[in-house]
C-alpha cells in the first residue's frame, strides 16, 4: 500500500523537478554587486573621450554590453530596453551606455548601430567603444565566450546598473520587463528595494512568490514546509498511539 | 530493579559524554586564546574548531539528557535497550563523520551551517556531503531513540494522561508523574525539530547533488535551520529538568513532586511555544512576515517563563526553611537551575525585538546560551551522572574534594561568562576569529574568558576522573 503511494509521489516530484530546474549557470545577477566598476576610458560616437565614472557622475548609468556583428540577443536586448524605457515615465535620472565588448567594433560600427535603432539623437543614450574591454567586463563579471564555428560570442543579455559613485548596484540578465527596469533605475539612484526575486532559480519551495506585475509577494509552498514538521509529528504521535494499543489488543 | 544492561549502556554514555566534553572545552579555550592573540590559529582552523565545538557540545548534552531520561524512565515503563544502543552507535559514528568532515575536510560553516555557507566554506569537496551525512546519521539515531521512548510511555499512559490533561478537570482520577509529563512534552518537541532537520537535509542534498540546477530559498532554509537548531538546543535543557523533577526531592529527602494543574498548563504551553520561539533568530531578516516576528517575541517569553516559573517555585518550596540533605548531586541541580534562569533572562532580553537591534550577533548571544548550557544544562547532567555513579557503589564521596570541584566549576564558569556578557554589552561581535582594533576591550576579555574557562576545565576534569572511574567499574561489573 505504502509502495503504491510513495512511488507515484516520487515520480511526480521528479517530473516537477525537471520542469523547474533550469540551469542557472550564467544567471548570476548577484555577482560583483556593490563592487566598484572598472573606470574604463571610453570614446563616444561623437568622438568625445570620457570615462565610465565621469559619465556616471553626471547621471547614473545603465550599461548594455553588445557587439555590432551579433546575430543573436544584442538587437532584441536593445529593442526591448528602448521600448521599456519609453514606457517609464517615473524617473528620468539615468543614461544608457551601449558599449561594445568586441574589439573589432570601431566608432563607425557603433554609430551605425545607434542609427539603426534610431537612438543617435536621443540624449538618454550613448554608444561607445573602449580599449579596456577586458578589465571592464571582468569588473562586472560578464564572460562572453567566442564560438569559432558560428563566429559569434556566446554571451548573456546583460544590463548593468551603475550609481553616481561608480558602484554596480543591480544587474539584469535576460530580456526583462519595464517593472524590473524601474527597479534598476531606482537602485542606481540609491533607492532601496527590499526584495526581488533573482532569475533562473527554482521557485518550487519559496516562502514567497514575487509577482513582478503587481510588485507584491504572495505566500508560497515554503511557508507550508515550515509548518510541516509540526504536522508530521502530530501524525506520528497518533500513529504510534494506535500502533502500541493495537499491539496490546492483539 | 534497573536492568543491568541499561546500567551499562548509561555508564558508557556518561564516560563518552565527559570525554567529548573535555575535548570540546579545550577547543573552546583555544578559540578564546586565539581571539585574545595569545595563540595564532588560521581563520580556517578557528572556524573549524568553532564548528566542531558547537555541534559536539549540542550533541553530547542532548544525548546526556536523553541517557538520563531513559535511565529514569525505566522506573515507570519498560524502555527499549536496542534503541538506546542504536542511538549510541549512531552518535559515535555521526561524531566521527563530523570530525572527519571538519578536521580533515575543513568544513567550517559553524554549527548552524547557515545557507549558503555549507556550499562554500570547506577546503575538500567531499566535506560538505560528509558533514550533512553526519547530521543525518545523528538525527536518525536520535529519532529512533525518541520514538521508542514515546512508544514506551504511550503503552502505559493514554494520550490525554501523558500530557496530563486530566488536571484541567476537577478531581483528576489518574496521576501523571511530572517526569512523564515533561519527558513527553520534550520528546515530542525533539521529534518535531528532528523532522525539520530531515526536510532541511533533503533540500540541502537536493541542491548539492543537482549541482546548482536546484537552488534553495534562503528564507526557507534559515527558518528550517533554526527550527531544528534552536529547538534542539532548548529541548535538551528540558530533558535535564525532567530529571530534576524526579530526583531533586528524592535526593534531598523530601516527598516526591506531584503534577498539579498549573504544572500541567505550564508544560503544555511550553510544548507549543518552544516550537515557535525560533522565529526570534530571524528578526534581522526583513523578508520574514511581520506576524512571525511578533510570534517569535511572544513565544520566546511564553516558552521560557511558565516552565521557569513553576520549576523555580517548586525548588523554592522544597528548600525554603526546611532541612535538606545537601549532596553534590542536588547542589549541582540547584546551581544549574539558577544558571538556567540567569541564562534564560539573558535570552529573553535578546529576544525582545527592540533589544535585538543592539545585541544581535554580539557576544551577548554566546553569553546567554553558554550560561544556560555550561552553568545550567551541564550541571543538570553532571548532577545526574554523579548520582548515577553512586547508585551502584557503597563508597561516599570526599566532601572536601566536592567543595573544591564545585568551586572550580562555579568560579571558572562565572568568570568565563562574565567576559562574554561584558563583550556583548560593549557590542563586540560574535564569531570573530580575530578582533580588529575597533574593539579595544575584545582581546583582553577573550584572555580573561579563556583563563576562567581553564579553571572551569579543571573542575570538569576532577568530575571526569571521579565519575568515570565508577562508571567504568559498572561497565565491567558482572552483577545484574
Ligand atoms: C568552558 C567551556 C566552554 C568554552 C571555553 C567555550 C567557548 C566557546 C567560544 C570561544 C565560542 C565562540 C564564541 C564566538 O562566537 O566568538 C563558542 C561557541 C559555541 N559554544 Fe561554547 N564554550 C564552552 C562550553 C560550551 C557548552 C557547554 C556548550 C553547549 C552545550 C557550548 C556550545 C557552543 C555553541 C553552540 C557555540 C556556537 C558555535 C557556532 O557559532 O557555530 N559551549 N564556545
Alpha-carbon span A131 to A140, nearest angstrom: 16
- Alpha-carbon gap: A114 to the closest alpha carbon of chain B (Å): 38
In degrees, to the nearest 5, what angle opens at C-alpha B112 toward C-alphas B107 and B117?
Answer: 50
What mean pLDDT comes out for the span A118-146?
Answer: 94
The per-residue pLDDT string of chain B (480 residues; one tens digit each, 9 = 90 and over) reads: 567 889 999 999 999 999 999 999 999 999 999 999 999 999 999 999 999 999 999 999 999 999 999 999 999 999 999 999 999 999 999 999 999 999 999 999 999 999 889 988 778 899 999 999 999 999 999 999 999 999 999 999 999 999 999 999 988 889 999 999 999 999 999 999 999 999 999 999 998 998 767 888 889 999 999 999 999 999 999 999 999 999 999 999 988 999 999 999 999 999 999 999 999 999 988 788 888 999 999 998 998 888 888 888 888 888 887 888 899 999 999 999 999 999 999 999 998 989 988 999 999 999 999 999 999 999 999 999 999 998 877 666 667 788 999 999 999 999 999 999 999 999 999 999 999 999 999 999 999 999 999 999 999 999 999 999 999 999 998 765
pLDDT of residue B415: 98
Q: Which pTM value belongs to this model? A: 0.80
> A209 to chain B: which residues are within 8 Å by CB?
none
Residue A154 is classified by DSSP as E
Chain B contact present for A19, CB below 8 A? no
Q: What is the mean pLDDT of chain A?
A: 84
pLDDT of residue A60: 96
Per-residue cell: B268: 503544555
Nearest to B246, CA basis, from B109, B394, B70, B369: B70
pLDDT of residue A5: 44
Place of cell 554523579: B386
> A205 to chain B: which residues are within 8 Å by CB?
203, 216-217, 220
Is the distance from CB of B71 to CB of B2 less than 8 angstroms? Answer: yes
pLDDT-derived band at A13 (thresholds 50, 70, 90) equals very low
Is the distance from CB of A98 to CB of A70 less than 8 angstroms? Answer: no
Nearest CA to ligand 1 atom 29: B57
pLDDT of residue B418: 98
Size of interface A-B (CB pairs under 8 A): 83
pLDDT-derived band at A199 (thresholds 50, 70, 90) equals low
Which range in A181-185, A195-199, B33-37, B345-349 is most confidently predicted, on average pLDDT?
B33-37
Q: Is the pLDDT of residue A196 over 80?
A: no
pLDDT of residue B364: 97
- Alpha-carbon gap: B355 to the closest alpha carbon of chain A (Å): 22
Q: pLDDT exceeding 70 applies to what percent of chain A? A: 82
pLDDT of residue B74: 96
- Report CA-CA distances (Å) from B4 to A3, B69, B72, B387: 41, 16, 14, 17
Q: Which residues contact A89 (CB under 8 A, 6 or more apart)?
A: none
- Domain A34-197: homologous superfamily in CATH: Glutaredoxin (3.40.30.10)
Chain B contact present for A49, CB below 8 A? no
pLDDT of residue A195: 67
Q: Is the pLDDT of residue A201 over 60?
A: no
pLDDT of residue B171: 85
pLDDT of residue B368: 97
Alpha-carbon span A101 to A79, nearest angstrom: 18
Alpha-carbon span B207 to B112, nearest angstrom: 18
β-bridge pairing A125-130 and A95-100: parallel
pLDDT of residue A89: 76
> B210 to chain A: which residues are within 8 Å by CB?
17, 21
Amino acid at each position: 500500500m505504502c509502495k503504491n503511494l510513495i512511488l507515484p509521489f516520487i515520480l511526480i516530484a521528479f517530473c516537477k523537478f525537471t520542469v523547474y530546474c533550469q540551469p542557472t549557470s550564467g544567471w548570476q545577477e548577484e555577482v560583483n554587486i556593490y563592487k566598484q566598476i572598472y573606470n574604463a576610458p571610453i570614446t563616444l560616437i561623437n568622438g568625445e573621450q570620457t570615462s565610465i565614472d565621469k559619465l556616471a557622475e553626471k547621471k547614473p548609468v545603465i550599461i548594455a554590453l553588445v557587439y555590432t556583428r551579433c546575430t543573436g540577443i544584442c538587437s532584441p536586448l536593445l529593442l526591448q530596453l528602448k521600448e521599456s524605457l519609453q514606457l517609464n515615465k517615473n524617473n528620468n535620472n539615468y543614461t544608457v551606455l551601449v558599449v561594445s565588448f568586441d574589439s573589432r567594433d570601431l566608432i563607425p560600427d557603433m554609430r551605425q548601430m545607434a542609427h539603426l535603432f534610431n537612438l543617435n539623437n536621443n540624449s538618454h543614450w550613448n554608444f561607445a567603444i573602449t580599449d579596456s574591454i577586458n578589465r571592464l567586463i571582468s569588473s562586472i563579471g560578464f564572460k562572453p565566450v567566442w564560438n569559432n564555428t558560428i563566429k559569434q560570442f556566446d554571451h548573456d543579455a546583460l544590463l548593468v546598473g551603475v550609481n553616481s559613485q561608480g558602484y554596480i548596484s543591480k544587474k539584469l540578465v535576460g530580456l526583462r520587463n519595464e517593472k524590473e527596469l524601474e527597479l534598476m533605475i531606482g537602485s542606481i539612484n540609491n533607492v532601496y528595494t527590499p526584495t526581488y526575486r533573482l532569475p533562473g532559480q527554482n521557485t518550487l519551495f519559496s516562502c514567497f512568490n514575487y509577482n513582478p506585475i503587481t510588485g507584491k509577494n504572495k505566500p508560497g509552498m515554503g511557508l507550508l514546509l515550515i509548518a510541516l514538521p509540526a504536522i508530521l509529528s502530530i501524525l506520528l504521535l497518533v500513529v504510534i498511539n494506535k500502533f502500541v494499543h493495537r499491539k496490546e489488543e492483539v | 530493579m534497573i536492568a543491568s544492561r541499561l546500567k551499562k549502556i548509561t555508564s558508557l554514555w556518561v564516560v563518552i559524554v565527559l570525554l567529548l566534553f573535555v575535548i570540546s572545552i579545550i577547543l573552546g579555550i583555544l578559540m578564546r586564546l586565539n581571539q585574545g592573540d595569545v595563540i595564532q590559529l588560521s581563520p580556517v582552523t578557528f572556524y573549524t574548531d568553532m564548528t566542531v565545538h558547537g555541534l559536539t557540545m549540542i550533541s553530547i548534552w542532548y544525548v546526556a539528557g536523553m541517557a538520563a531520561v531513559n535511565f529514569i524512565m525505566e522506573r515507570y515503563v519498560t524502555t527499549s535497550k536496542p534503541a538506546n544502543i542504536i542511538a549510541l552507535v549512531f552518535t559515535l559514528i555521526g561524531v566521527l563523520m563530523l570530525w572527519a568532515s571538519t578536521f580533515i575536510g575543513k568544513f567550517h560553516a559553524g554549527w548552524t551551517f547557515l545557507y549558503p555557507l555549507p556550499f562554500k566554506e570547506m577546503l575538500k569537496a567531499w566535506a560538505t556531503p560528509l558533514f550533512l551525512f553526519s547530521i543525518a546519521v545523528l538525527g536518525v539515531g536520535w529519532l529512533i531513540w525518541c520514538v521508542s521512548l514515546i512508544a514506551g510511555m504511550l503503552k502505559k499512559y493514554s494520550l490525554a494522561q501523558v500530557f496530563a490533561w486530566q488536571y484541567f478537570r476537577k478531581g483528576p482520577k489518574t496521576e501523571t508523574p511530572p517526569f512523564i509529563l515533561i519527558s513527553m512534552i520534550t520528546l515530542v518537541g525533539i521529534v518535531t525539530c528532528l523532522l525539520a532537520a530531515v526536510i532541511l537535509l533533503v533540500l540541502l542534498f537536493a541542491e548539492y547533488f543537482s549541482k546548482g540546477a536546484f537552488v534553495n530559498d534562503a528564507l526557507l532554509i534559515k527558518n528550517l535551520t533554526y527550527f531544528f537548531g534552536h529547538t534542539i538546543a532548548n529541548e535538551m535543557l528540558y530533558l535535564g529538568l525532567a530529571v530534576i523533577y524526579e530526583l531533586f526531592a528524592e535526593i534531598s529527602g523530601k516527598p516526591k513532586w506531584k503534577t498539579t494543574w498549573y504544572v500541567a498548563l505550564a508544560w503544555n504551553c511550553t510544548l507549543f511555544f518552544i516550537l515557535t520561539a525560533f522565529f526570534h533568530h530571524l528578526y534581522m531578516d526583513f523578508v520574514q512576515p511581520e506576524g512571525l516576528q511578533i510570534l517569535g517575541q511572544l513565544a520566546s517569553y511564553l516558552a521560557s517563563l511558565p516552565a521557569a516559573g513553576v520549576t523555580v517555585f517548586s525548588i523554592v518550596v522544597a528548600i525554603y526553611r526546611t532541612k535538606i540533605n545537601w549532596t553534590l548531586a542536588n547542589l549541582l541541580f540547584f546551581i544549574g537551575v539558577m544558571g538556567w534562569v540567569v541564562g534564560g533572562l539573558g535570552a529573553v532580553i535578546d529576544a525582545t525585538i527592540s533589544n535585538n537591534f543592539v545585541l544581535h550577533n554580539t557576544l551577548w548571544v554566546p553569553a546567554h546560551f553558554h550560561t544556560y548550557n555550561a552553568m545550567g544544562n551541564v550541571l543538570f547532567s553532571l548532577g545526574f551522572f554523579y548520582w548515577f555513579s553512586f547508585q551502584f557503589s557503597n563508597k561516599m564521596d570526599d566532601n572536601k574534594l566536592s567543595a573544591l570541584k564545585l568551586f572550580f566549576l562555579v568560579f571558572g564558569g562565572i568568570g568565563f561568562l562574565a567576559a562574554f556578557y561584558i563583550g556583548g554589552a560593549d557590542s563586540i561581535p560574535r564569531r570573530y576569529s580575530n578582533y580588529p582594533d575597533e574593539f579595544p576591550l575584545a582581546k583582553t576579555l577573550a584572555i580573561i574568558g579563556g583563563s576562567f574557562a581553564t579553571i572551569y576545565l579543571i573542575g570538569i576534569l576532577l568530575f571526569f576522573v571521579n565519575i568515570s572511574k565508577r562508571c567504568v567499574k559498572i561497565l565491567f561489573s558482572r552483577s545484574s
